[in-house]
Structure 1
Amino acid sequence: HFKTRLSTLNLTPLLSRRSLRYRENENDDLSRSDSDPQIRLSPATAMVPTHRSLSLLSLVPLLLLLSPALASESDHKYQPDESVTLWVNKVGPYNNPQETYNYYSLPFCHASGNPAHKWGGLGEVLGGNELIDSQIEIKFQKNVEKVVICRLDLDEGKVKQFKDAIENSYWFEFFMDDLPLWGFVGELHPDKNSDSNKHVLYTHKSISVQYNKNQIIHASLTPENPKPLEVGKTLDMTYSVKWEPTNVAFARRFDVYLDYPFFEHQIHWFSIFNSFMMVIFLTGLVSMILMRTLRNDYAKYAREDDDLETLERDVSEESGWKLVHGDVFRPPRNLVLLSAVVGTGAQLALLVLLVILLAIVGMLYVGRGAIVTTFILCYAFTSFISGYVSGGMYSRHGGKSWIKSMILTASLFPFMCFGIGFILNTIAIFYGSLAAIPFGTMVVVFVIWAFISFPLALLGTVVGRNWSGAPNNPCRVKTIPRPIPEKKWYLTPSVVSMMGGLLPFGSIFIEMYFVFTSFWNYKVYYVYGFMLLVFLILIIVTVCVTIVGTYFLLNAENYHWQWTSFFSAASTAVYVYLYSIYYYHVKTKMSGFFQTSFYFGYTLMFCLGLGILCGAVGYLGSNLFVRRIYRNIKCD
């Protein structure tokens, strides 16, 4: 049974594959709320090495010039007997993906000397990676039999740390030529002499490497030779390397990490088809209802009749959206805030579309942290859009506080993310986790925002104010606001807002499962074509639903449609967050304050962005609709 499980680990490139899920079931009753404090790094250690932070500051120009998808291991070509570096990265409990620590936070022994560090890009550091040279001697195409790395002397403290790690199903991650290798620290064996389980530590690392000519194609690691943990014992930590030729091309070497049956399951295709049919039905329904109603309203309202009796009858029967033409273009409450979130949402919509297209073209899932780096840089360079949309909207409604508008547009979303990130970073520093962001990385992100994003947002605001800020309302705004009559409960803005997010959430519900599973369950998301389709469907459904809600609101003679249209679309994020609570309790086995904080903190950050994006799309769609219907009526 033990050999079968080891061979399964060797053949499975991802820890999350089905063959390894015995760890979840077998150790479920042994999982604890948090790791023992002894295996955590001290808060001060979480910021080490400090020169990593300083080196990042000097790399800001390179971060902006180099493609994030480029590999970092030179050209990936080796000569026979050339040294190949094995990098150790991190360890952590299997059920808590974000709770990761430095590999040597566990008392592993290692070769003497000062190991080299590999400084990654911005996204790699933000992802909690710290690569350290293992100093294990590996030569290209040269097999290595069992060789001793070092001798591990077990004392009471080390045994306690290893036992705690094994009970929490700790796994580790190595890298060779930018290829990840995974394995478990140890496992629990049934003890025949007692009811409790015996802790065993894997002391041998069997490394298998496949190569094609002068390039490494695949690398895997199998932990072997389990030894019981007993105080006073000395264990030999060993390794072996086996090289095997393969015909797999270098361009296809990451295919083994992609779970095709999971992502390309028929339910995924069916969900896309189902969402597409919903779009057709919804757009057809909206077009049929609104155009039929509006056509009748246009004919009735535009009719010129000299018959006084007929005219009086028409006026007495007149009700609905036409009666509020003198108030519908009245500036909304908190105009500066609405302009800022609409501008930010427009930028996020363009940003998501751009990142998805880059991921489709450039295979960003290949590089460590490439998606994060691409997102940050694209956000900085698309900040002009947020300023342009916000400035034009603020000017059209007669806004005067331009300094406040500029600063709020440029800093609203980044500072919300910073606030959440600061809390999570404080927790990570307390636990000594690699998830703690080094000070230098914070400075790099701030520099990118301060010297690229912020100026572009200010420039966009000025351009938007001058180019698209002229008032162009189809109807004049009356001096005295019209009183809003009481209506049915389901026509109130709060109900319209909450109901508006149901259909957009339904269109992305299945895709949210795949995205959540990728981020929280060790799977590599690569089906960005699916994501592009779902994103476009989300935009269309959001616009249609918001237009319907706005029409019902105006028909109820309520002209406060601006914020209602925004919240009607933004409520999609509320349903996504509620789904994340369900996913946490049903689909994962996460535990402990650290992982729970990071799960709901990251999800909150994601939902804030999604809500602002959908809200802006809903508002802009409703704005076009409102201008269109009031353009063809007599406003005077």
Structure 2
Amino acid sequence: MQSSSFLAAILFFISAAFASDSVHKYQPDDAVDLWVNKVGPFRNPQETYNYYSLPFCHPSGDAAHKRRGLGEVLGGNELIDSQIDIKFQKPVGKTTICEIELDEAQVMQFKEAIDRDYLFEFFMDDLPLWGYVGDFHSKRKGDNQHMLFTHKSITVKYNKNHIIEVRLTQQNPKPLEVGRKLDMTYSVRWIPTNITFARRFDVYLDYPFFESQIHWFSIYNSLMMMFLAGLVSTILMRTLRNDYAKYAREDDDLETLERDASEESGWKLVHGDVFRTPFSIALLSALVGTGAQLAMLILLVILFAPVGMLYIGRGAIVTTFIVCYAFTSFISGYVSGGMYSQHGGKNWIKSMILTASLFPFMCFGIGFILNTVAIFYGSLAAIPFGTMVVVFVIWAFVSFPLALLGSVVGRNWSGAPNNPCRIKTIPRPIPEKNWYLKPSVVSIVGGLLPFGSVSIEMYFVFTSFWNYRVYYTYGFMLLIFLILLIVTVCVTIIGTYFLLNVENYHWQWTSFCSAASTSVYVFLYSIYYYCMKTTMSGFFQTSFYFGHTLMFCLGLGILCGATGYLGSNLFVRRIYRNIKCD
């Protein structure tokens, strides 16, 4: 009995190895599964529904569902076996799938789908096929008649035992009339090709769009922004050298310093307050730690995406994001714990919990609202309860413990205060200055240059996410991301210097907000993109568009804010280390 079970298991794995859409190898006459996925308005990419929510030919009995990964579920995919008979390299003539007798409700459903340009998605051997539900036929009187496509012509290109390319052509449109019987048919044609299996996904990549002169101009634009930031930084370094020379002379002549103290101004005068603990240090530490984690997360995903070709798999990018976020939580805890301890924080448990839960809970709050909308509409975008439990378990048993561990390590290894200057007991009063040197103005203006370095790339990112294009130019993204970090650091340091030079020592939150304001400009750009570059409509798609954009901008703001703060922190410590702090 055991030997027969063992033999059966071996035969199962052998058959799966030679005829499976998971290993993508077939022998002649092996069954090839055609999976139906979803259907929805072409203009609204996130408003998707189950394919069989429309009265198409439904497979008999309980159709098999393809196992879905975490990213597939979050992406709103639900693959169901169409049970259409397709054999590898075996042509199929015009064959009936089923016969539909239209009643009034079915006619209304199909008409509404045609009015809204419903697009459905199939998969064969993990390759997508798309087609419209129907079209309009113009009558002599000027009225448009709704026509339903009744024939699906599938063309498959193959190379040896691999499927390389699949295409779907909709044919034989029939008018929608109550009581009319429609034969739903299909045909399959097989064509050999020399295209290798490794390049079979190239047909889905829009080379003219992503490798256009405009995309290359985005690199040029970003480099110019970095050049401007570097130029201003060079001027700042020369100014700092003059400051050092001036303060060195003053230290040699204490009588002159005392006599001119009422007339002196500059960043040295606030050396006794510049390292004072900022307000809400627990929140600031949590934000900086989370931003450091997000920076590492983005870097890892950008590096993994082209190597693992993550853009090919359904939901692979989303799954990689979640897994990488969980395992990089140690970084957020380490940075946050060290920063909180350096500023003398006492309630470190509160700091740890805030660091581990701040960004996930913000995303959960937005996601909960969007999920409620999706459930109300009956969309596939609704996340099942089981998937929510899986995501929570990943956070609770991987991300949260790693963040706590990082907080403990950061608190013990890098949490000792090491300020170059002693903090005075009584805070120094901050003099009134011109309006353009106020922290609020510095914070608003600080994000302009970093946004300018990524503004053109934002168009390609938004278009790929909201307009059915596959983003694959991760080399561009890596370069733009590095330039964004450099420009953010330079601009924030310049703003911090201006603030300290007018004797305002509240630089910590200002440096964070100055860099984080980049996300405000990205969100404003998203409003322009929605109104001018898309044809999206309806409450469902609008809420999903701005909900996902808000999550993206929150993450970008925290990332840039942390980068700006860490750069300014190094700058401030460096300049005060080079002077005498008495």
Bucket of the pairwise TM-score, normalised by the shorter protein: over 0.9
Distance 1:271 1:128 in 2: 32
SS at match of 1:364: coil
Deviation at 1:195, TM superposition (A): 3.1
Asked if 1:510 corresponds to 2:456, the answer is yes
Could you tell me the TM-score, scaled by structure 2's length? 0.95
2:464 touches 2:471 (CA, 8 Å); kept in 1? yes
**Structure 1 gaps, min length 5:** 1-71
Deviation at 1:316, TM superposition (A): 4.2
**Regions of 4+ moved over 3 Å:** 304-317
Match of 2:180 in 1: 233
Measured in 2, the distance between the counterparts of 1:363 and 1:277 equals: 31
Query: Which residue of 463, 470, 479 corresponds with 2:425?
Result: 479
Partner of 1:278: 225
2:21/2:32 contact within 8 Å kept = no
> How many Å separate the matches in 2 of 1:308 and 1:550?
28
Measured after TM superposition, the shift of residue 284 of structure 1 is 2.7
Show CA shifts across 1:274-298 (max 9, x none).
Answer: 21132123213212x2222111111
**Do the aligned residues in 2 keep the contact of 1:474 with 1:627 (CA within 8 Å)?**
yes
CA-CA distance at 1:196 after TM superposition? 2.2
Alignment counterpart, residue 334 of structure 1, candidates 280, 287, 297: 280
Shift of 1:256: 0.2
Q: Please give the secondary structure, in 2, of the residue aligned with 1:303.
A: helix
Report the counterpart of residue 200 of structure 2 in structure 1.
253
How far, CA to CA, are the matches of 1:612 and 1:267 in structure 2?
A: 29
Match for residue 65 of structure 2 among 117, 125, 131: 117
Please list the CA deviations of residues 87-129 of structure 1 after superposition, one character each: whole Å capped at 9, or x if unmatched: 0000000000000000000011233222100011100110000
Question: Higher relative contact order by CA 8 Å / sep ≥ 6: 1 or 2?
Answer: 1
CA distance in 1, matches of 2:393, 2:44: 32
The CA deviation at 1:304 is 6.2
Do structure 1's residue 218 and structure 2's residue 199 form an aligned pair? Answer: no
CA offset digits 1:204-254 (Å, max 9, x no partner): 000000000010000010111000000001100000000000000000000
Say if 1:111 and 1:149, in contact at 8 Å, map to a contact too.
no
Which secondary structure state, in structure 2, belongs to the residue aligned with residue 98 of structure 1? coil
Indicate if the aligned counterparts of 1:345 and 1:616 stay in contact, CA closer than 8 A. Answer: yes
The one-character-per-residue Cα deviations of 1:517-539 (angstroms, maximum 9, x if unpaired) are: 00000000000000000000000
Cα distance in 2 for partners of 1:314, 1:463 equals 47
* Deviation of 1:311 (Å): 3.9
**Matched letter for residue 532 of structure 1:** L
Whole-angstrom distance in 2 between the partners of 1:258 and 1:424: 30
2:60 maps to 1:103: no
> Which residue does 2:139 correspond to in 1?
191
Change (3 A) 1:73 1:590: same
Q: Find the counterpart in structure 2 of residue 598 from structure 1.
A: 544
* Deviation of the 1:622 alpha carbon: 0.3
Is structure 2 residue 535 aligned with structure 1 residue 589?
yes
Question: Displacement, 1:177?
Answer: 0.2
Q: Are 2:43 and 1:86 aligned?
A: no
Query: Where does 1:307-322 land on structure 2 (aligned, <5 Å)?
Result: 310-322=256-268
Distance 2:277 2:303 in 1: 37
Q: What's the secondary structure of 2:517's corresponding residue?
A: helix
Deviations 1:342-394 (A, max 9, x none): 00000000000010000121111010000000000000000000000000000
- Computed over aligned residues only, the root mean square deviation of the Cα atoms, in angstroms, reads 1.1
Q: Does 1:488 align with 2:418?
A: no
Q: Note the residue ranges of structure 2 that are not aligned, 5 or more in a row.
A: 1-19
Q: Which amino acid aligns with 2:30?
A: E
CA 1:305 to 1:113, structure 2 compared with 1: closer, same or farther past 3 Å? Answer: closer
SS class of match (1:525):
coil
Q: Is the 8 A contact 1:111 1:150 kept in 2?
A: no
SS in 2 for 1:407: helix
Which residue of structure 2 lines up, in the alignment, with residue 533 of structure 1?
479
Spell out, residue by residue over 1:36-93, the C-alpha distance to the aligned partner (whole angstroms, 9 max, x if none).
xxxxxxxxxxxxxxxxxxxxxxxxxxxxxxxxxxxx9321000100000000000000
Correspondences of 1:407-426 after superposition (within 5 Å)? 407-426=353-372
C-alpha displacement of 1:199 = 0.1
Q: Counterpart of 2:301? A: 355
| Counterpart-to-counterpart distance in 2, 1:218 and 1:308 | 82
Residue 440 of structure 1: aligned partner? 386
The answer to whether the Cα contact below 8 Å between 1:571 and 1:611 also exists between their aligned partners in 2 is: yes
Partners of 2:56 and 2:88 lie apart in 1 by: 25
TM-score, structure 1 as length reference: 0.87
* Map of 1:67 onto structure 2: none
**Residue in 1 that maps onto 2:5:** none
